[in-house]
């Protein structure tokens, strides 16, 4: 897909968390969108998992990266269930690792160079 996340829905909507995908080397993937509507990157290429039959498989996509972020946010929220959503997202963004995603000219792409971090 690629291109600007701002050209797609729901990524362009207000009050959504838009997740771009990285590979195992923390490189931006060719299928992932970029631009100012992206909030954060997360693992999304060749992620190990289990399919419907129980067999091991790998999956790729921004949907996989978004699931990583959703799970990370759920773990974070489980530690403090009174935390308002806006504060939860703010803390999640502050805990992200800055400057490690490779493969883009981030100033030209106007994309934040933040990699989601989850302390299990």
The pLDDT assigned to 68 comes to: 96
Q: Residue 98 has what pLDDT?
A: 96
Domain span at residue 91 reads: 5-115
Domain membership of residue 120 (yes or no) is: no
Model pLDDT, residue 60: 97
Cα–Cα distance between 61 and 7 in angstroms, integer?
A: 17
Is 58 among the domain residues?
yes
At 82, which CATH number? Answer: 3.40.50.200
Is residue 38 situated within a structural domain? yes
Residue 21: inside a domain, yes or no?
A: yes
pLDDT of residue 7: 95
User: Tens of pLDDT along the chain (120 residues)?
Assistant: 688 999 999 999 998 999 999 999 999 999 999 999 999 999 999 999 999 999 999 999 999 999 999 999 999 999 999 999 999 999 999 999 999 999 988 877 799 999 999 876
Structural domain count of the chain: 1
């Amino acid at each position: 897909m690629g291109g600007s996340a701002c050209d797609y829905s729901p990524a362009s909507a207000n009050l959504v968390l838009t997740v771009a995908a990285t590979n195992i080397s923390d490189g931006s993937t060719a299928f992932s969108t970029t631009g100012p509507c992206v909030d954060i990157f997360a693992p999304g290429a060749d992620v190990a998992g289990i399919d419907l039959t129980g067999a091991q498989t790998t999956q790729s996509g921004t949907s996989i990266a978004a699931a990583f972020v959703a799970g990370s946010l759920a773990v974070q929220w489980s530690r403090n269930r009174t935390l308002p959503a806006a504060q939860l997202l703010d803390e999640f963004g502050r805990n992200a690792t800055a400057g490690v995603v490779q493969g883009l000219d981030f100033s030209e792409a106007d994309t934040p160079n933040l990699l989601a971090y989850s302390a299990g």
